[in-house]
Chains A and B, each alone.
Chain A
């Protein structure tokens, strides 16, 4: 089965374009299945179901959604195989922009939209930087020049990804996206594969549902930030080295 991971901020059009592209693949004879990882609730199952695509939604609830994703991936893969799918798409929520669900050796897709501000490609981090395909949606709402400058910013953050403009409302570009999905490598299992980017370390008192604020309630893996005196603007701190892939 081919496996594709899809990540992107909330409401950027992930579900729309994946449902359309999977529909095209299915019509061309490649059965698909989608697993949606989300936090508290999700209505996306209905969107996939109405496109005729088998879908399973997994909600992380009280757990870190990225850790939840990693610990349920084998089961998700097995479920998708059980549907008879030849192509499985794992859609994850945008979450905190800190993480990336992408897996080495499999197809990794990032979706962002044209309305997010010129610095968005930089802010989004590893889910864009480590993607093989970047889909840009809502391009119909901005000018040609803005699309091109935005594309350039994406290129600066990710020098090798294929960048595609896709319209989730009209479906323009989804046929090409379906062709890209069909290029995903085929794998027998996800076991023993590695993530492209480490998940955040956790295990502090707040992981265990602590709600009170204050130093005396902070136990476990706690990190304190540096706050600068006065008006001087410090150089932006680089991201944690210990998270690098």
Chain B
């Protein structure tokens, strides 16, 4: 039998989730809106509902998940055909997964990925991802390396560069990028350039303040929605400066330097 052929996926500019309830059945205060080019940080203790929100987006929630949220794309609920087309294509994810499992060389793999995207010059596209990954990774690796032999940091650098440069999914979900063993702010800057809707679960204060908006979770629902204030801009600059100082000291100590 022949199932309906999926039409080409659209590229939404805005997602919203409304109608949510917390674990006690109380309604979420407001609709949650996510836009292209903006970073939204999700904050809250383990079990407070961050992962639920990520999977509500991924599964195109239609009142059918425990949170009872409904997803709207560009202001309206997707039709059955659109849901069908978007299933599995709406969202790219960078999870806490640190290892590859496929038995392929790095450049062969990237070329295969570029080919699957029908990129005009797959070889050149693969090389761009490889170079960007090497800039992010602490220790460089070569194009012939086996994926499975990369270190945790190298693997994450490659996953991040690949998602930023080759993925066509309009939404990017990031889970605790601070544990990646790569330069987190450089990684975020690279991902932001990819013109996606970015939603990031994090426990890191600098990353949380880097986001345009923060959603704070409690008991399975969003309790506070906070936009970054002027005072927080100044705090962010101060904290980022401290991180730079730490990075400088770390780099110096690693090569046998002394600190004045």
Contact = CB atoms under 8 A, between A and B. Distances in A.
Nearest to A167: B55
B87 interface: yes
Interface string A148-181: 1111100100001011110000101101100010
B167 A162 contact: no
Interface residues of A, number: 37
A145 B64 contact: no
Interface string A108-151: 10000011011000000000000011000000111111101111
A185 interface: yes
B116 A144 contact: no
A165 B55 CA distance: 13
A144 B89 CA distance: 11
Given A143-B100, A145-B166, A133 B116 contact: no
Contact of B162 (A105, A107, A144, A172): A144
Nearest to B173: A144
Given A149-B112, A162-B3, A140 B162 contact: no
Contact of A165 (B2, B88, B166): B88
Nearest to B172: A144
A148 B3 contact: no
A193 B73 CA distance: 43
A179 B164 CA distance: 32
B102 A146 contact: yes
B112 A152 contact: yes
A41 to B, nearest CB: 29
A143 B109 contact: no
A133 B87 CA distance: 13
Nearest to A118: B102
A107 B117 CA distance: 29
Interface in B99-128: 100-104, 109-110, 112-113, 115-117
Interface in B102-156: 102-104, 109-110, 112-113, 115-117, 155
B146 to A, nearest CB: 12
Contacts of B3: 132-133, 162, 180, 183
Contacts of A117: 102-103
A55 interface: no
Interface stretch (B90-98, B221-229, B247-255): B90-98
A145 B97 contact: no
A146 B112 contact: no
Contact of A176 (B87, B95, B97, B116): B87
A172 B1 CA distance: 25
Contact of B163 (A107, A144, A150, A163): A144
B113 A175 contact: no
Contacts of B94: 144
10 closest A-B pairs by beta carbon, nearest first, are A152-B116, A145-B162, A143-B159, A149-B112, A149-B113, A144-B92, A162-B3, A146-B102, A118-B102, A165-B88
Interface of B: 1-3, 5-6, 55, 58-59, 64, 87-88, 92-95, 97, 100-104, 109-110, 112-113, 115-117, 155, 158-159, 162-163, 166-167
Given A132-B3, A142-B101, 6 more contacts: A132-B1, A133-B3, A143-B97, A143-B162, A145-B109, A148-B113
